[in-house]
Amino acid sequence: MTASRPTVREVDLAEGVALAREGYRVIDVREPAEWDAGHVAGAISVPLGDLPARIAEVAPDPDLPLLVHCAVGERSGRAAAWLAERGHRNVVNLRAPIAGWTAAGGAWEAPRTDLTARERRRYARQLLVPEIGPVGQRALREARVLIVGAGGLGSPAAMYLAAAGVGRIGLVDDDVVDESNLHRQVLHASDRVGARKVDSAELTLRGINPALELVKHDERLTEANAERLVAGYDVIVDGTDSLETRYLINDAAVRLRRPVVHGSVHRWDGQVTTFAPGGPCYRCLHPVPPPSELAPDCAVAGVVGVVPGIVGMLQATEALKLVLSTGETLAGRLLVVDALGATFDEIRVARDPACPACGDGER
């Protein structure tokens, strides 16, 4: 005999509003664009495809009362059934058009559409750029960018993204500031040696843009937390010098269909590219990790401080284009920087149909 599937309770708008008032956690499984157009006050945005990776974050207790909704109840019905099958005992699906939530007396958060006077002053020169303007500036304000590594690459990337008006930046780093960092990691300062890098970064970034929402992830990105970290953001900036971490970022981003802006440096040289959903990905470029002696980190090989500055700013540029959906990104192209020779070269990168991450067999 096959076990019967758990039955999920379904409610209409009036009962849904009542449950939200009683303290049910409201989970919105619509896509980000739907959420941005307006959402239930206090709800948590977890697009349906992200639910498996984020469930431990949004509903760690199987007894937590959950009210799940989408636009009309179909996607949320699948999400609620999935949760019930995994032991969540108090899951309710809203089987009704969410457009009627306010008419039923529910609290609603409208999208922030207009720029404030302060934003218009701050971004006055940027607003003049045809590819940005007020619409693009609002998109930057609503954007969520994860930067892995608060070091040589993450420093300029974070500073320029904060200055441009990116609303939420997540910073992943479990290290502390060392004096040897200071010639290239411009987020940090001499009086912060020994401080947590995420705390030091916060001081700098809040000085650049007090309106920034900085999420400090004082942890190392690992196989156990990679999907959880990646799932909460729209664009990932890879500023790590660890080969293992690069593969973990890539694989999680491929599964969750998030673009990754990759950068690496070595002495006077640097590389930048963007891995977009659909490939090519990092494993297409490097199917297997090279021997450690051929890819030493900067602690072994050394690096000139300005080089990660150049590469990190190029990464910030790529991230901005991805958020704004404008221009031509480096997807499928590897930009090679030779600072000593003052040259930029380009190498084409093709998707490998046999790639274990993004290849045809994985679709």
Which distant-in-sequence residues (6+ apart) come within 8 Å of 96 by Cβ?
A: 11, 12, 13, 16, 72, 73
Residue 234 DSSP label: S
Structure tokens at 87: 């032991």
| Residue spans per domain, the chain | 9-109, 143-362
pLDDT value of residue 1: 42
| Domain 143-362 CATH assignment equals 3.40.50.720 | yes
How many other CB atoms are found less than 10 A from the CB of residue 341?
Answer: 10
Q: Is 174 helix (H, G, I), strand (E, B) or coil?
A: coil
List the catalytic residues: 298
pTM, to two decimals: 0.72
**Residue 16 DSSP one-character state:** H
Structure tokens at 89: 């005992």
Instruction: Report how far Cα 35 is from the mean position of its chain's Cα atoms.
Output: 16
Q: What is the DSSP string of 310-339?
A: HHHHHHHHHHHHHHHT-S---BTEEEEEET
How much is the pLDDT for 3? 54
**Look-up of token digits 């051929």:** 294
**pLDDT 10s per residue in the chain (363 long)?**
455 667 899 999 999 999 999 999 999 999 877 887 789 999 999 999 989 988 888 898 999 999 999 999 999 999 999 999 999 999 999 999 999 999 999 999 876 668 899 999 999 999 999 899 988 999 999 999 999 999 999 999 999 999 999 999 999 999 999 999 999 999 999 999 999 999 999 999 999 999 999 999 999 999 999 999 999 999 999 999 999 999 999 999 999 999 999 999 999 999 999 999 988 999 999 998 877 666 666 666 789 999 999 999 999 999 999 999 999 999 999 999 999 999 999 999 999 999 999 998 744
CB atoms under 10 Å from CB of 28, counted, come to 23
Q: In sequence order, which residues have a C-beta less than 8 Å from that of residue 18 and are 6 or more positions away?
A: none
Helix extents (H) in the chain:
13-22, 32-36, 51-58, 74-85, 117-122, 124-127, 133-142, 154-164, 197-208, 226-231, 243-256, 282-285, 298-301, 306-324
Tens-place pLDDT, residues 88-99: 999 999 999 999
Q: How high is the pLDDT of residue 363?
A: 46
How big is the chain by its Cα radius of gyration, in Å?
22
* CATH T-level fold of 9-109: Oxidized Rhodanese; domain 1 (3.40.250)
